Structure 1
């Protein structure tokens, strides 16, 4: 009985060692030992390939979205800012005439957008009507300043007034009165639509973009220099009607 217990114990120990040794073998060693194909390894490699492909697709799609937004922002600056030049320091105006000229320039560029732009830009439409350009000024409700006498009277309350300019209705910039002594800022808001067609080359349906473009005339310092800046936000959505015909080769 004792010898049988010893043999049984040795067999259990040997079997345990064999299983541990097999467990820590590489897939190639397991294949040479038992001739079993590494299905689990193959499955893991397939999963890695799928995940890698998804990451690559997501990265490419995200890169095209970022590039499209940045390029449109640059285009809007050149379209709506008069005499705009990149890397030329602060973009600003210094006289009342310059302010009115720049506002009028923005309005005219917006109204003639579809005939001026080289991109596929258009007005945003709501219920069949083009959205208007919005011109809003923020100013102190009361302000009396006399630098020569070193006196002033001012109220911290701020008021906002807006006018809406439609592409189908005439507008005269001289009708929009600006009190520069009270003026804090002047904001010009525009809604512009565009389609990112570059995704077609990668067998993806193009996305539609709704850009919210704002030109800000900042006069909060009242220093004699009104700084001008342009900002753009974008909302990406699936186009309402999309039709890509032909093969990928015919679209290149």
Structure 2
């Protein structure tokens, strides 16, 4: 998330990466209309120039062609304010407008304001509740936990949110990245000559086998002795009370937990 914030959030500062109380900086927010469009332009530019990132990021298309980001606007159906005479027109129903952000970055610089004008979409910031800018990318993580651990592959669904729900002149800016685990395809050369690692794994395997064997023997002995005690009890009831021990009473000598442990040790 920190890496994506540096790549796609305009004016992101490293001070925001340190969890401190009280916070050393205020919330990341926008206060001017131009800043809103510039933030979208910055995110699009960062996504279009993904190859400049140090991280091994790729687009989600099979041929690694840039996929279109999606810009969504959530606005009140009516939200016009006439501050000079304290009047307004308001309809609390929220309209959602989503569009693919398509542009050839090699021919000209991207401007979100021009895109919206071309689609005949006007943002009324008095009525704007929220806006989202969504992109997706893939990556392969070579960070391995051990010499025989394969790399991990992920897809990240990234969403930049412009939150104007409070309508206080401050549009809060945030970024969320949702990871999705993917099945990797690749050639892996494992390290097989690590003798210390091999010896440690062998010791662990032998230790597990030894403990399971001891557990199996002890549980089997406990069940066997319980059955001997059951036979003695049955005989006692016959001799002294001239009656058979009930089936429920016989089952009291059979501990199902021991049976489960024995099955687990065998497996």
Number of the residue aligned with 1:80: 8
Deviation at 1:142, TM superposition (A): 1.3
Number of the residue aligned with 2:68: 132
Q: Does 1:244 align with 2:188?
A: yes
Deviation at 1:203, TM superposition (A): 1.5
Within 2, Cα distance between the matches of 1:226 and 1:249? Answer: 57
Number of the residue aligned with 1:27: none
Deviation at 1:213, TM superposition (A): 0.5
Deviation at 1:238, TM superposition (A): 1.8
User: Is the CA contact (8 Å cut-off) linking 1:111 and 1:167 kept in structure 2?
Assistant: no
Query: Residues 120-149 of structure 1: CA distance to partner in whole angstroms, max 9, x if unpaired?
Result: 011111687543211111101112211221
Consecutive unaligned residues of structure 1, counting only runs of 5 or more, are 1-72
User: Is the CA contact (8 Å cut-off) linking 1:205 and 1:242 kept in structure 2?
Assistant: no
SS of 1:99's partner is: helix
Deviation at 1:166, TM superposition (A): 4.2
Q: Scaled by the length of structure 1, what TM-score is found?
A: 0.64
| Cα gap change, 1:90 to 1:126, in 2 (>3 Å) | same
Q: Scaled by the length of structure 2, what TM-score is found?
A: 0.60
RMSD between aligned residues? 2.2
Consecutive unaligned residues of structure 2, counting only runs of 5 or more, are 17-24, 117-121, 195-267
Within 2, Cα distance between the matches of 1:146 and 1:217? Answer: 24
Query: Residues 43-66 of structure 1: CA distance to partner in whole angstroms, max 9, x if unpaired?
Result: xxxxxxxxxxxxxxxxxxxxxxxx
Within 2, Cα distance between the matches of 1:219 and 1:162? Answer: 17
- Moved >4 Å (runs of 4+): 126-129, 166-171
User: Is the CA contact (8 Å cut-off) linking 1:184 and 1:218 kept in structure 2?
Assistant: yes
SS of 2:177's partner is: strand
